[in-house]
Each structure stands twice: as structure tokens, then as C-alpha cells.
Structure 1
Amino acid sequence: MLPFQVNDSIQLKLIQYQDRDELYSLIDENRVILREWLLWVDKRQSPEDLDTVIEMWTRNYEERNGFDAGIWLNQELVGMLGLHYIDWKNKATSIGYFLSESSQGKGIITTSIQKLSTYLFNELKLNRIMIQCAENNLKSRAIPEKIGFINEGTSRQAQWLYDHYENIVTYSLLSRDWQEEVST
């Protein structure tokens, strides 16, 4: 499935070893804004720190267990979109994402998730997609809300983030909801 052409300017591609330094630079240049919401940022202090995760991402993709893809905008790496573990029995998965500060507000993630959702529901025949966001991360929460994901509720103090707990909001989209949304 990867690479996945979202539109003329956006492409999702599996992160591979040759992308390591570019990915590290993206993380490092956006460290302050990413660290506000993502626990793994401090674990990435050099390009070499990405070697084991890139190996895991490759293995997951080969085993049809999701993917971690770079988001390229006009051939420039601007973020990542992850399709987490796929529960094939229940036909469910979840999506995570981040974007460089300079690329935010342009509809890149929204457009990517919309196109990917159509693929997941129509081609992979999944039934449920979830997105979880920190309650106070309003930019991240705006994405599933704009696409039509349903807010299922808030898990109180569900994630320890460096020095405090964050409430986590869970959104979901069902195949039948997507079919109704696309046909209207």
C-alpha cells in the first residue's frame, strides 16, 4: 500500500533507514512543540536513536500490522502518520500523527486521514478507526472533529507526560459512518 499518494503534493511513504537523518532533523527542529504532547521526543537525541524504531516500523509493515509513514509535501518530509496495530479480528486500528510547526494549518493531516480512511474502509475492509488526543491539544483534536469522527469520551489522567497527567479524548469513525459521510 505504501507509498500512498494522497494528492498531487502529499505522499505517505514508509520511513526507512535512508530517511533517518531527515526524520531526526525534523524532530529536532520541532522538538519544543512536539515535546508538549509526545512522550517519545526526549528519547530521540541523535539519528542513531531512530535505528531500532525504524527496524520495528519495517517489521510491522511487513507483517501487515500497521505502518509509520513519513508525510512528504512536495518531496519534503514535514511529519509522520502512523497506522497503529491492526486488530484484524475486530477490523479496527488507530491513527497517530505529527506535523512540523511550519506545515500546520494547511490541511495536510486532515486530507491525509480522509484519503487513508477511504482506503482502510474500502480496501482493507476495516470497521473502526480511532484517534486519541490529549484533551488540551486543541489543534490535534480539531482534525478528527473536522473529518466527522465521533467523540467517545475522555479518559481522565490516562497518560503521564513528563511531569503531569494528561486526559485523553478518544474519537472513532465506523465504516458505516464513513459511507454515509461520503455519499452525502
Structure 2
Amino acid sequence: MLIHKIDDELSLRLFNVNDAEEFFNLIISSKHYLREWLGWLDYVEKVEDTVETIKSRLQALVETGGYPKSVAIIHNGQIAGTIGFNEINKVSKIGTIGYWLGEGFQGKGIMTKALKTFVNYGFGELSLNRIEVSIAVENKRSRILAERVGFVEEGTLRQAEWLYDHYVDHIIYSILAKEWNEN
């Protein structure tokens, strides 16, 4: 099992099927909070739904030749959230990162460290040239995070995502390998 220790409290690791109940409970306990920005939450109704999600994440290891596209964010031994590449364009060497943290783990610098680590992984291990994040315009915390890590705002995609009963615009942020390596 891949484990990347960031510091004494924080690590990234592959999900495994034994994580299903804990991951499900995190999603359910943060559902109201996360629902503002994540459109898939109503599809998670039982532990078996997270089992299937974890299995598909593990299957992605085969598709990528052994590189994980997404991992669990572990804070003090608990699953705090997840981060991963929602999409990787191998030809153009572009990755699109998605991430979220459970409500109780917010405001502790966890996602800043996890995002920096995953950007390093994308440029170092996956040899990407560009990494993007697409963030709802009103998701100010996530936008501040991207900017703090060094992503540059590029533009707005109008009505980019349907969230339950309305569309939201997204801002595209990116960082290039040469910019990251200069930091």
C-alpha cells in the first residue's frame, strides 16, 4: 500500500475496501456542508456506494500503469478527505485535480499540504506539464487555497456545473511545471 507521510499528523495513502465505512461516515457527516460545492453527494446512500467508489479508484491503478489517481488524506489516523486527478490527458500532459475535506478537518492547513504534495507528485512522478483545478466562483476557500499554492486564475467557465437545482460558474486555475520548479 502506498503511503506518503507529509508530517507527523498528515499523510496520503491509497484507499482500500476496509476504508469504506469510515469514508462513508465522513461523507454523510459532512454532506450538508459539502453539498454546496459537490454535485454527487445524493448518489451516496449506503456503505456499498463507497465500496464501489474505492474499487473504481483501485481499478484506476491498472489504467495508469500503477500510479494512483486519487488517495485518502489521513489526519491523525483518520480519513479527513480525498485528493486526486479527476482527469489526466497523457498526450498533452495535463492533469485536473479535485479535492475535498470533511467539515471537521477544515482550517488546519491540511489541504494546503495535501495539494502541494499532490502537485509535486503530478509534476515529479507523472511528468505532467500543466495541472488545473476548476472551482466554483463562490467557493472562496478553495479559490484562496489554489492561489496560496501558486495556481494562476485563467478564466471563467459559465454554467460549468449543475448542482442539484442550479448552475454554477467555475474559475479555471492552472500551474505549469516550469512555474512550480521555480518555487
Per the normalisation by structure 1, the TM-score is 0.92
Matches within 5 A, 1:64-143: 64=64, 66-143=68-145
Superposition CA RMSD, Å: 1.5
Query: Per-residue CA shift, 1:112-161, capped at 9, x if unaligned?
Result: 11122223212322111111111101111111111110101110111111
Structure 2 spans left out of the alignment, 5+ residues: none
What number of residue pairs does the alignment pair up? 181
Following TM superposition, by how much is the alpha carbon of 1:101 offset from its aligned partner in structure 2, in angstroms? 1.4
What amino acid is the match of 1:59?
A: Q
Q: Distance in 1 between matches of 2:138 and 2:103?
A: 17
Identical aligned residues as a percent: 38
Whether 1:3 aligns to 2:3 is: yes
Per the normalisation by structure 2, the TM-score is 0.93
Matches within 5 A, 1:1-184: 2-64=2-64, 66-180=68-182, 182=183
What amino acid is the match of 1:42?
A: D
Q: Distance in 2 between matches of 1:168 and 1:95?
A: 14
Query: Per-residue CA shift, 1:47-100, capped at 9, x if unaligned?
Result: 011232222111112321752211101111111112222212111111111111
> Contact 1:66–1:85 (CA<8 Å) still a contact in 2?
no
